Structures are given as structure tokens and as C-alpha cells.
Amino acid sequence: MTTIPQYTATRATTDGSASSDPPLTFDLNTTPDPVRVSPASGDPQRADFVLVGSRRSASAIECRKITVVVPTGENSPDLTSDLTSASAQISLPEWTPTTNPATKTITFSPASGSAEIGRDDGVTVQLMGMRINSVVGTALLRLEVEWREAGSDDLWATGITTFDIGKFPAEFDLVDFIAEELVIDNGGSAELNWEAKGVSSLRLLYDVADVNVMNLTTYTVKHLVRTTVFYLRATVQVGNNTVERVLSTTVTVRVPDLEIGNLRVVGSLMVDWPSRLIVGRTIGEDPAYPARNMLDGNLETYYLSESGGDSSYGGTVQIDFGSLRPIRDIHVYLGTPDGTHLPRKFNVQYSPDGQGWWPVISEITPTPEAHWTSDEDVMMRIVQLYVQNPYSSIAVRQFQAGQPRLQIGGTEAGFGIPVAAYRGITEG
């Protein structure tokens, strides 16, 4: 039994040994994707093959011909039964193709005998409208480049790239594998969608999971805590061959969980509540001074807004914990370290549900910092900083709600939760 993939590529030197530095590095694109076989009768299935080669090197090369060897015939390892059905094109000026059905080749060559390809140049070879034969299988498309270093008298070498191209049944299809949201919060859900037909097996693979999603077009994975790559694998049995197509999509998790073997921190370590920072559209964010600087525990860094906000409203920054948290203190450090970009006025409010709001720091005039503390826990989900300065942008060095659960600096450690010590804690 043979497994037929979509396609795979192999590169080699003239003598067949593997090479990590071929003269040109080629990638293949096909239309349709994947390639499908022609029906037993009626109009044939056609396909376009676009081979894009790039030269990423410190030197140019001299090239005298590029040859595509196309397996021709009616059998499973053949790609087409009619090589002349393809319209051959190349991006290099004054190069022309020659099709030779006897040798099953299409050869491109320059009028001058050879031509230079620069160190940052590329070449595109196109075989358009090729008629595909009617037998499912894998065909080996071979690309040969005769070359030598530019300006040298070296013997001509041949760089070889081969593509194993899968030929799929006409009714087989697997497309549009995508997540509804490509970026989600930690603990959120990923809703995946796709279209599939003519398959006998369809499985969703991620992490260690292997889920049978046959006859489904959507599937939701709940409680994602780290960025995850999802693979959708479709197969169908055709005679003694298994046809396989795999698509992938990635869902990024904001502030993901991290699993490591060993951890070395150079600087400080802060373990805080999971939270999401939301900057209002009216003030925006200067990319050079991002909002995440407000939560890094460092008073030398700062967030800078794009503007001072709406002239009559100002703007807001929110810390959303996602659920209720017990908070006893809120600390706000405003302006840059040198005291500029202070808001003209600001206040701090909190909400347990995002609907009703209660003040904790009343609206006050410019000051570099403000603090609120409570002897008892106050349950908060969202803490909101309102700022206004219609004349310039606004800087915030730190916006902290509640103490970090763990903060370790160069000389001391602070714990915001009860700590059980089995080997003792030393002070001083």
C-alpha cells in the first residue's frame, strides 16, 4: 500500500547527494490544489504548475538551461498522457522553451547560450493547462538547472530538484481549514471550520489529541491555554493506494501557559493574575511604547498613547481579569520617568460585571502617582483608568490592581498569597 501526499520536494547535487545549498531554491504551487485526475470520459482535468526559484547567495551564477522532466504516460507514476498539452513559460527574458515528447522534457534556454542570474534574483517556470491522466498516484516531477559560478571557467554542474506530486480523485476535496478567531484569550475556545468531500477518514490532530471529525464541518476545542497548531488529515482508499491531504492552522493564545524543564531568569520575576489589557480607541497606542509596559513592574518603562483622547471625553485603559478577583490596592504611576506627558485629569473606577461602575480614585488634577488601599477584599473584574489631555499624548508607567502573587527582584521577594515553606524563609 502506498500513501499519496499532496506533494513533497527533494533537492540534490549532480551526483545525487543531498545538498543544503542548491544554485536555485524552488517552491511549487499548483492550481487546483491538490492536483486531481481526469475522469474516464468527458473533458480532461487540467492543472497549472508554477515553480518559483530564488537565488539567495553572495554570488551570481551563470545558467545555460533549465529542464523540466515530466513523467508522461497513462500509469499511476505518470503525470500526463500528453506533454504537449502544457503551455510552457519562463520569466527570464529571451529564453525559449523546447518540448520533446520522446525524452519527456521541456527545456528552457537563452538565445545567447548562457545568462547570468544575480545573487538576489529569481526565476519562475510555468507549465500551464497540463492535462492530467486518469490514474490516482504519485508522479515525480524533476527540475534540472545547468549552472556554474558567474565569471568562472568551471565545468557545468546540474542542480536537481524533484517534486513528488500527488494525483487525487476528482471527487476528493479538503479546503478552507480556518479558525473563527486566530487570537484568543488564555482559557478561551477555538472554533474550527472546513469543507471536505469524497473522504473516507477525517481526523483533527493537535497536541496529543486525535479526534474523529468525519461528517463534520466544524469543531470547537475548549480551554486552550497555549498557542496551538491544528492539523486536519483527510484520507481515502483508492485501490491499493491511500490518498492523504493535511491542512493546518494556528490559534494564538494571549498570555499563554508555559511548560519548561528548567528556568533561569536574568533580572526580575513577576507572577500576576491572568488579565487582559484593553486600550480605548480614542487614545490608542504608540507602537514604540506599548500598553504592556504598564504591567511589567518597571517604573522606567511606560505606555504612551497616540493622542490625549477625545477633547470632551478623553480615553480609557482597562485591566480585565476575566472573572471576579479580590483586590485591596490599586496603584497608578503617570507620565514618563522625566515627568512629561501627564494627563490633565484622571480617575479610576472598577466594575464587577462590566455594567455598573464604582469610583476608587476620584478625578484629580495632574500628579505623577495615585494610590488606593482597602482593609478588606473588594471583588472586581474590571479596573478602569480614565485619562484626558487634549493637548498631547499621555504616558502611564504602571497601572497595577492588586499585588502580584509573586515578585522576585535582585535582592528581595514579595508574596501576595499565603506561602508554605518547607525549608524555611530567611529575612534580612
Q: Is 130 buried (19+), middle (13-18) or exposed (0-12) by CB count in 10 A? A: buried
Residue 1 has pLDDT above 50, yes or no: no
Share of the chain above pLDDT 70, in %: 88
Residue 10 has pLDDT above 70, yes or no: no
Residue 77 DSSP symbol? T
pLDDT band at 317 (very low <50, low <70, confident <90, very high): very high
pLDDT band at 17 (very low <50, low <70, confident <90, very high): very low
Question: Which residues, other chains included, contact 2 with Cβ-Cβ below 8 Å and sequence gap of 6+?
Answer: 137, 138, 240, 241, 242
Of 182-191, 236-245, 337-346, minimum mean pLDDT range: 236-245
Q: How many CA atoms lie within 13 A of 160 on its CB side?
A: 14
Q: pLDDT value at position 209?
A: 92
Q: pLDDT value at position 59?
A: 84
Look at phi and psi of residue 109 and say left if phi exceeds 0, alpha if psi is from -120 to 50, else beta: beta
Minimal CA–CA distance to 161: which of 6, 33, 18?
18
Q: pLDDT value at position 273?
A: 67
Q: What φ, ψ does residue 295 adopt, rounded to 5°?
A: -115, 10
Query: Which strands, in side-by-side order, build the sheet including 406-408?
Result: 269-271, 406-408, 413-415
Grid coordinates given for 15: 551526483
Mean pLDDT, residues 377-395 taken together: 91
Contact call for residues 320 and 275 (beta carbons, < 8 A): yes
pLDDT digits (tens, 9 = 90+) for 221-257: 999 999 999 999 998 888 777 788 889 999 999 888 8
pLDDT digits (tens, 9 = 90+) for 276-305: 889 988 898 888 999 989 988 889 999 999
d(CA 230, CA 178): 9
Q: pLDDT value at position 80?
A: 96
Q: Between 3 and 282, whose confidence is greater?
A: 282
Q: What φ, ψ does residue 58 adopt, rounded to 5°?
A: -80, -5
C-alpha separations of 328 from 103, 370, 372, 375, 412 in Å? 82, 14, 8, 7, 22
pLDDT digits (tens, 9 = 90+) for 118-151: 887 889 999 999 999 999 888 999 999 999 988 8
pTM of the model: 0.58
pLDDT band at 20 (very low <50, low <70, confident <90, very high): very low
C-alpha separations of 78 from 37, 74, 132, 280 in Å? 11, 6, 9, 60
pLDDT digits (tens, 9 = 90+) for 193-227: 999 998 999 999 999 899 999 999 999 999 999 99
Look at phi and psi of residue 223 and say left if phi exceeds 0, alpha if psi is from -120 to 50, else beta: left
Residue 426 DSSP symbol? -
Query: How many C-beta atoms lie closer than 10 Å to residue 228's C-beta?
Result: 19
The kind and range of the H/E element at 215 are: none
Residue located via cell numbers 504592556: 292
d(CA 247, CA 178): 9
Of 78-87, 156-165, 259-268, 412-421, minimum mean pLDDT range: 412-421
d(CA 211, CA 197): 18
Grid coordinates given for 124: 519562475
As beta bridge partners, residue 317 has 279, 385
Q: How many CA atoms lie within 13 A of 122 on its CB side?
A: 10
Grid coordinates given for 134: 486518469
Contact call for residues 276 and 320 (beta carbons, < 8 A): yes
Q: pLDDT value at position 166?
A: 87
Residue located via cell numbers 480556518: 178
Minimal CA–CA distance to 47: which of 167, 206, 156?
167
Omega before 32 within 30 of 0, i.e. cis: yes
Mean pLDDT, residues 355-368 taken together: 87
Per the prediction, the chain carries an average pLDDT of 86
Query: How many C-beta atoms lie closer than 10 Å to residue 372's C-beta?
Result: 19
Question: Which residues, other chains included, contact 312 with Cβ-Cβ below 8 Å and sequence gap of 6+?
Answer: none
C-alpha separations of 29 from 9, 235, 304, 373 in Å? 12, 21, 44, 62
